Amino acid sequence: MRRTPTSDAAQAALGKADVVHAQVRVAALNAATNSVTLRGPRGNLGDVDVNPALVDVTLLRVGDKLNVAYEQALLLRIDKLATKGMRERVETTVAIPASAGMTSSAHRVRVVVTLRGPRHQQVLRAAQDIPLDRLRVGDSVRAEFISPAAVALARN
């Protein structure tokens, strides 16, 4: 992954992201990206980026019960393609200025995939100007989205 400054569009989109509060269990940890896989109350799994200034995920353990507040994943762009299947994956981490001299980060992913159920289902919020009604099951698309990011995390 490479670190790059965030675009104005991504910053504006992040400012509109909804914050979700949930009681979850830690299912997996990724120290390299300071992210966690969380199991929700219905058993669903989701990956959430954690700002290292908020929590060092190496201090957590699989099975820990947590209260978490996180910004939902946000679909920035989607384009329908003529090809089928996975062709490309580009990941970046962007720095986002925050208050009191602190910075936050967001994991940004651009992929080309055939739409179908992934191993970890991830719900993406999409802006009104994104034409989701033109997509069909089996379509290949290029999508750019920002992964969910924790804004508060505490052991239960």
Lowest mean pLDDT among 15-19, 59-63, 102-106, 141-145: 102-106
Joined together, the tokens standing for residue 3 give 């670190």
- Is residue 143 scored above 70 in pLDDT? yes
pLDDT for position 13 = 52
Q: pLDDT per residue over 79-116, tens digit each?
A: 887 765 555 555 666 655 555 555 566 666 655 555 45
**Residue 27 pLDDT grade (very low, low, confident, very high; cuts 50, 70, 90):** very high
**CB–CB of 149/51 below 8 Å?**
yes
pLDDT for position 37 = 93
Strand partners, 112: 88, 142
Specify the pTM: 0.62
How far apart CA 72 and CA 85 sit, in angstroms, is 26
Strand partners, 69: 21, 152
Q: pLDDT per residue over 1-14, tens digit each?
A: 333 334 555 555 55
Q: Select from 134, 150, 142 the least CA-distant residue to 49.
A: 150
Residue 57 CB contacts under 8 Å (≥ 6 apart), including other chains: 29, 30, 31, 34, 35, 36, 50
Joined together, the tokens standing for residue 15 give 């400012």
pLDDT for position 107 = 62
pLDDT for position 97 = 58
> Which is more confidently placed, 11 or 24?
24
Joined together, the tokens standing for residue 30 give 């990724």
Strand partners, 108: 92, 146
DSSP state of 123: -
Joined together, the tokens standing for residue 23 give 């009681």
Q: Strand 103-114's sheet: what is its strand order?
A: 2-5, 88-97, 103-114, 140-146, 74-81, 125-126
pLDDT for position 1 = 32
Q: pLDDT per residue over 36-67, tens digit each?
A: 999 999 898 888 989 888 889 999 999 999 99
- Is residue 152 scored above 70 in pLDDT? yes
**CB–CB of 142/78 below 8 Å?**
yes
